[in-house]
Amino acid sequence: MTHKIIIDTDPGIDDAMAIFYAALHPDIDIVGMTGVFGNVTADIAARNAIVLAERVKQTIPVAKGANAPLVIAPNGVSDYVHGTEGFGTMPAQSITGQPLDEPAHEFICRMINEHQNEIILCPIGPLTNIAMALEHDPSIAAKTKAVYIMGGGLDKGNVTEHAEANIWNDPHAADIVFAADWDITMVGLDVTTRVQCSPADFDRIGASTPIIGGFLNEAVQFYFDFYASHYGKRGCDMHDPTAIIAITDPQYFIIETHALEVIVEGARSGQTVRSTDPSRPKHKVPMDVDAKGVKQRFLSMIETGF
């Protein structure tokens, strides 16, 4: 079975890992990508999505999306984690293609309406474009096959003690997305922080597939520097690829179901919590993972590249 996916992304080093995994997977067809602010600005996000598509030799439509959250003042880009151009110390990469004229949220709505019950949305950045799409055409919730989000977490935060970065960057958007009645799997820090790669893992894929793995190995050094200075260990969490691997390999995840809501102000802003509101739909929340299985799946897929 082929999964038709739209990746909503802020590339971003682990976004690049996720996009290469999806592009190389024989059962995934990336039918579009949409750029959003987060790790980088929306302009850089759209450009970097095209950089990644061209590097993996695929023609994928890319639409530019929101450059700021719906309500809160922007927190600022995460250049200290991903580098000023998104891929560590690499300078801006040139591209042949261009983003579509259509804004991201309209592209998402059009694609879902043209391919009803076929599209899986994979947001791996702040949820602003997805919330704007829901507000533009609320009927998309019933026409979307599934939504796999990298974001949130029930037991931990990363950018604050309580909040995960993608949700913290636009908590109001995330709350709109979790309030909608569609099939969401929230792949959060509960599982993504358990899937970790080391410099040796990236050296190996860099040597075996210089164009794809080599690009990741060059970009990830900056990410390793961040982890070394913040967590005292040279390595990294595989946040965004884990969300895509949850689509292709659900057997690696132990999933609970919870209604979810997002705290939108105060010290806990951006925290995802279990909701007691009976009107809220229940969503899937992986709470445990076969981390070795997911990591191996990622590394072996990249090694099918070039």
The values of phi and psi at residue 108, to 5°, are -60, -45
Placement of tokens 């809501």 in the chain: 261
Q: Which stretch binds Ca ion (CB under 5 A): 124-132, 189-197, 244-252, 254-262?
A: 124-132
Tell me if 12 contacts Ca ion by CB under 5 A. yes
Would you call 239 a catalytic residue per the annotation?
A: yes
Residues 266-305 that bind ligand BDR (CB under 6 A): none
DSSP string covering 32-95, please? EEEE-SSSS-HHHHHHHHHHHHHHTT----EEE--SS-SSSPP----HHHH-TTSSTTPPPPP-
Placement of tokens 């759209």 in the chain: 46
Taking residue 265's Cβ as centre, other Cβ atoms within 10 Å add up to: 11
The residue from 240, 246, 263, 298 that contacts ligand BDR (CB under 6 A) is: 240
Tell me if 12 contacts ligand BDR by CB under 6 A. yes
In terms of CB distance, is 202 or 280 closer to ligand BDR? 202
Q: Which stretch binds ligand BDR (CB under 6 A): 9-17, 102-110, 219-227, 290-298?
A: 9-17
Tell me if 166 contacts ligand BDR by CB under 6 A. yes
In terms of CB distance, is 40 or 134 closer to ligand BDR? 40
Q: Which stretch binds Ca ion (CB under 5 A): 40-48, 115-123, 131-139, 236-244?
A: 236-244
Residues 221, 83: Cα–Cα separation, whole Å: 10
Residues 63-82 that bind ligand BDR (CB under 6 A): 78, 81
| Percent composition of the chain: helix, strand, coil (DSSP 3-state, to 5) | 40, 20, 40
Q: Which residue is nearest to ligand BDR (CB)?
A: 165
Tell me if 170 contacts Ca ion by CB under 5 A. no
In terms of CB distance, is 112 or 165 closer to Ca ion? 165
> Using an 8 Å Cβ cutoff, are 113 and 106 in contact?
no
Tell me if 124 contacts Ca ion by CB under 5 A. yes
Q: Which of 184, 212, 217, 186 shows the shortest CA–CA distance to 200?
A: 217
Residues labelled as active-site residues:
239
